[in-house]
C-alpha cells in the first residue's frame, strides 16, 4: 500500500506531538506535583479544619443557648399537664422549668417507649406528669381488650415519679400474667381503690388487705407499732420523713395512717397533713379518690391530745390520739378496736 | 442469739418483752446503749436541749418493748431538766445507763 505524502506528514506530526507531550509531561510533572503539594493539599486541609471548627462551634453554642434557657425560664405551674396531647405544648404562662421539661422529654423519648412495649399491643395508653409543692406525680392508665392497668408514682423529680410508677406497673403486669395463667380475674390495685361497679373488682375489694402507714422518725417506735398492725393482718409501710410519707399516702391504697406528731426537730404531723391536702387538691382524680375513701389518721405522741391540732380535711378522717408511752398490750387493744371500728 | 432464752431470762428479771418484738430487742438495746453514752457526752457539754430530745425518744419506746424502767428513768431525766436539778439529772442518766447495761448483759449471755 502506498503511503500518501499528507499521511506521512500527519504521522510525523502525531509522533512529534506525542514526543513533545512526553517531554513536556516529564518536564512539567515536578511542577504539577509541587503545585498539588503546595496549593491543593493545604487548601483541602484548611477546608476540613474550617468545617470541623464550624461544626464544633455550632454544638458548643447550642449547649450554651440551652444552658442559658435553663436559667432564665420562670417556673409557674400549678396544674397537671397532659403530655400525650399535641395541644399540651407548654404555653408561656405555664411553662415548666426547663430542666424538668427536658427530663420529661427524655423520659417520653426513651423510657416510655420501652414501657409501652411491655403492655398488651392493643392498649390505649394515657399518661400525665404533674407537680405540686415540689412533689412530682406520674400517672399512667392503660386499657386493652384483656387488661386495665392504673399505675402512679411520686417523687422529688419527674424521673423519680416515673420510676416509682414503672415499678408499680411491672408488679401489676406480673400479677396480671399470673392471674391470666391461673384463669382468674385481675383488677389493678389502684382501679380497685376507685369506685367501680365491676363485679370482679368488687370481689377483689372484698378481700382487700388493709394497709397501715406508720410515720415515725424513731425506728424502734415504728417497728413496735408496725408489728401490731401486722398481727392484725395489715400490710404495713414505714416512713421517717414528710416527703416519703406523702409519696406513700398518695401512691398506696392506705387505710390507716399512724402519725408521730414530732418528726425530728423541724417537722410536725400537721405539716404532713396540710401538704398532703394541698397536693390532693391539685389533681381531680386524687380529690375524687380521697373524697370517696378517707384513710383514718391516728396521731401518737408523748404530748397530750389538747396539744395536737390537726388541720381539717375532706380527704382524711381523724380517728384518735394515742398518748405515749404505752405498753404493748394497751397498744394492741387500741389497734384491735380500730380494726373493729373500720370493719376489719 | 436465742430469743426464747433471752426473753425467759428477761422475764425473770421483771422485763416482759412482747413476742413479736423479740427479734428486734438486740438492736433496740444497742441503740439505747448508744443513747446513754451520748447523754453523758451532752451532759459534759451542758447541752440540755439534746438530752431532753434523747430522753423524749427513749421514754416513748421503753414501755412498748417491755422496758418500763427505761421509760421511767427517761421520764425522770426530763423532770430533772424541768426542775433544773443537775444532781438529779446525773443520777437518772446513771440509772438509765445501768439499767441498759443490766439488760444488755442478760441478752449477751444468749
Give the C-alpha distances (Å, rounded to integers) separating A283 from A79, A224, A286, A289: 8, 35, 5, 10
Answer whether residue A207 shows pLDDT above 80: no
Predicted confidence at residue A256, as pLDDT, reads 96
Sign, CA dihedral A61-A67-A71-A77, equals positive
Q: What pLDDT, in 10s, does the model give residues B21-64?
A: 988 888 999 999 999 999 999 999 999 999 999 999 999 899 99
- Report the C-alpha gap between A146 and B72 in whole angstroms: 60
For residue A117, pLDDT over 90 is answered with no
pLDDT tier at A187, thresholds 50, 70, 90: confident
A30: pLDDT strictly greater than 90: no
Q: Are A94 and A88 in contact (CB under 8 A)?
A: no
Mutation choice for B interface testing from A325, A326, A333 by most B CBs within 10 A: A325
Give A3 or A339, the one with higher predicted confidence: A339
Residue B18: list chain A partners with CB under 8 A: 224, 227, 328-329
At residue A136 the predicted structure's pLDDT band, cuts being 50, 70 and 90, is confident
- Mean pLDDT of the A267-296 span: 88
Instruction: Find the closest chain B residue to A324 by CA distance.
Output: B60
Helix (H) or strand (E) holding A135: strand A135-143
For chain A, helix (H) and strand (E) counts, in that order, are 12, 10
Cβ–Cβ contact A323 with B under 8 A:
no
Contacts of A229 in chain B (CB under 8 A): none
Does the pLDDT at position A15 exceed 50? yes
Q: What pLDDT sits at residue B10?
A: 84
Yes or no, beta carbons of A328 and B63 under 8 Å apart: yes
Any idea which residue has 405522741 for its cell? A301
- Within 8 A of B34 by CB-CB distance, chain A residues are none
Q: Do B61 and A327 touch (CB under 8 A)?
A: no
Flag the least confident range among A21-35, A317-331, B68-82: A21-35
Calpha distance A3→A248 (Å, rounded): 110
Tens-digit pLDDT profile for residues B55-76: 999 998 999 999 999 999 999 9
What pLDDT is stored for residue A299 in this prediction?
93
A265–B contact, CB cutoff 8 A: yes
Interface check for A223 against chain B (CB to CB < 8 A): the answer is yes
Q: What is the pLDDT of residues A149-159, one digit of tens each?
A: 888 888 888 88
Amino acid at each position: 500500500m502506498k503511503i500518501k505524502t499528507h499521511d506521512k506528514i500527519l504521522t510525523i506530526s502525531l509522533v512529534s506531538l506525542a514526543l513533545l507531550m512526553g517531554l513536556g509531561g516529564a518536564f512539567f510533572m515536578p511542577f504539577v506535583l509541587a503545585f498539588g503539594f503546595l496549593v491543593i493539599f493545604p487548601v483541602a486541609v484548611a477546608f476540613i479544619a474550617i468545617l470541623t471548627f464550624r461544626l464544633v462551634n455550632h454544638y458548643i453554642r447550642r449547649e450554651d443557648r440551652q444552658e442559658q434557657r435553663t436559667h432564665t425560664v420562670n417556673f409557674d405551674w400549678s396544674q397537671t399537664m397532659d403530655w400525650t396531647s399535641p395541644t399540651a405544648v407548654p404555653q408561656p404562662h405555664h411553662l415548666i422549668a426547663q430542666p424538668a421539661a427536658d427530663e420529661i422529654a427524655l423520659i417520653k423519648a426513651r423510657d416510655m417507649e420501652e414501657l409501652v412495649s411491655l403492655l398488651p399491643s392493643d392498649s390505649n395508653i394515657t399518661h400525665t406528669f404533674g407537680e405540686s409543692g415540689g412533689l412530682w406525680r406520674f400517672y399512667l392508665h392503660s386499657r386493652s381488650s384483656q387488661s386495665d392497668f392504673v399505675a402512679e408514682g411520686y417523687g422529688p423529680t419527674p424521673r423519680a415519679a416515673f420510676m416509682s410508677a414503672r415499678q408499680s406497673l411491672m408488679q401489676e403486669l406480673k400479677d396480671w400474667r399470673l392471674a391470666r395463667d391461673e384463669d382468674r380475674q385481675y383488677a389493678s390495685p389502684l382501679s380497685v381503690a376507685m369506685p367501680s361497679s365491676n363485679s370482679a373488682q368488687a370481689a377483689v375489694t372484698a378481700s382487700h388487705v388493709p394497709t397501715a402507714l406508720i410515720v415515725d422518725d424513731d425506728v424502734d417506735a415504728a417497728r413496735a407499732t408496725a408489728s401490731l398492725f401486722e398481727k392484725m393482718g395489715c400490710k404495713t409501710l414505714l416512713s421517717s420523713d414528710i416527703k416519703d410519707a406523702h409519696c406513700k399516702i398518695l401512691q398506696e391504697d392506705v387505710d390507716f395512717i399512724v402519725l408521730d406528731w414530732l418528726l425530728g426537730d423541724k417537722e410536725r404531723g400537721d405539716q404532713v397533713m396540710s401538704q398532703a391536702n394541698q397536693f390532693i387538691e391539685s389533681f381531680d382524680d386524687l380529690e375524687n379518690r380521697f373524697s370517696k375513701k378517707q384513710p383514718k389518721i391516728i396521731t401518737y405522741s408523748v404530748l397530750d391530745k389538747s396539744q395536737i391540732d390537726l388541720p381539717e380535711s375532706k380527704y382524711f378522717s381523724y380517728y384518735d390520739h394515742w398518748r405515749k408511752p404505752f405498753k404493748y398490750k394497751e397498744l394492741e387493744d387500741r389497734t384491735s378496736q380500730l380494726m373493729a371500728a373500720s370493719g376489719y | 442469739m436465742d430469743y426464747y432464752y433471752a426473753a425467759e431470762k428477761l422475764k425473770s428479771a421483771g422485763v416482759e418483752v412482747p413476742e413479736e418484738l423479740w427479734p428486734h430487742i438486740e438492736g433496740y438495746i444497742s441503740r439505747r446503749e448508744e443513747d446513754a453514752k451520748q447523754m453523758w457526752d451532752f451532759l459534759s457539754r451542758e447541752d440540755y436541749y439534746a438530752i431532753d430530745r434523747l430522753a423524749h425518744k427513749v421514754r416513748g419506746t421503753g414501755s412498748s418493748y417491755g422496758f418500763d424502767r427505761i421509760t421511767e428513768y427517761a421520764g425522770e431525766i426530763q423532770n430533772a431538766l424541768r426542775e433544773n436539778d443537775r444532781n438529779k439529772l446525773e443520777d437518772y442518766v446513771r440509772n438509765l445507763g445501768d439499767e441498759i447495761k443490766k439488760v444488755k448483759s442478760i441478752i449477751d449471755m444468749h
